[in-house]
């Protein structure tokens, strides 16, 4: 058994909240849900940046049949990598799809078309968030950004992803650890 791997401080199932000084326009005020983090790098999805694309546009593009949709949820910008590829973050349920990966006891990630077919017909998971693209970090890159105070790390909460209005997710995640995002400084300090 490799002890180095087991001792790696993974941020899987955490939120990254963009700090005020983060200059990358893709991540300004972003809340990123970390799906994987290891010595090989990290992968996550932005969960608070809706695009002006309704979900049914994806159903139409993929030629999926869909039931009457009374409200039209929007697609999320998951990140700047592979922006033509879809990812569905959803609450765990008994049903499994082709490429479902369980991230935590209540959150899974699926990137196969079969879940979209089920969502289109109202047979998918009760709560889901559909993204285009994802966010990724090379080995050591996320750790360097954390040292530079680019991100605030917060344990993830599925209620923030699935039951909190998009525009309130950053504030809700920060307040879950007692921080007011409005009071954070643009300047980082080291004690």
Residue corresponding to tokens 């079969």? 114
**Any idea which of 4-13, 15-24, 158-167 has the lowest mean pLDDT?**
4-13
Separation CA 100–CA 123 (nearest Å): 16
Provide the CA 87 distance to its chain's centre, in angstroms: 9
pLDDT reported for residue 2: 47
Q: In this model, does residue 53 exceed pLDDT 70?
A: yes
Mean pLDDT, range 38-45, rounded to an integer: 96
Domain ranges of the chain: 14-182
pLDDT reported for residue 72: 66
Q: What is the pLDDT of residues 137-173, one digit of tens each?
A: 999 999 999 999 999 999 999 999 999 999 999 999 9
Q: What is the pLDDT of residues 122-142, one digit of tens each?
A: 888 889 999 999 999 999 999
CATH topology of domain 14-182: VC0467-like (3.40.1740)
């Amino acid at each position: 058994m490799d002890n180095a791997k087991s001792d790696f401080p993974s941020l899987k199932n955490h939120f990254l909240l963009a700090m005020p000084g983060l200059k990358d326009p893709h991540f300004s005020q972003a809340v990123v849900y970390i799906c994987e983090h290891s010595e090989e790098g990290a992968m996550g999805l932005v969960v608070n940046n809706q695009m002006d694309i309704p979900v049914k546009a994806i159903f139409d593009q993929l030629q999926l049949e869909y039931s009457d949709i009374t409200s039209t949820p929007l697609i999320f910008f998951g990140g700047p990598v592979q922006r033509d590829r879809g990812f569905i973050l959803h609450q765990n349920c008994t049903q499994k799809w082709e490429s479902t990966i369980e991230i935590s006891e209540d959150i899974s990630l699926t990137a196969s078309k079969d879940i979209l077919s089920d969502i289109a017909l109202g047979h998918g998971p009760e709560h889901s968030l559909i993204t285009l693209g994802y966010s990724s970090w090379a080995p050591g890159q996320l750790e360097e950004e954390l040292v530079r105070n680019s991100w605030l790390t917060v344990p993830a909460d599925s209620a923030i992803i699935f039951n909190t209005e998009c525009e309130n997710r950053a504030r809700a995640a920060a307040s879950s650890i007692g921080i007011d995002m409005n009071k954070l400084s643009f300047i980082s300090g080291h004690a």
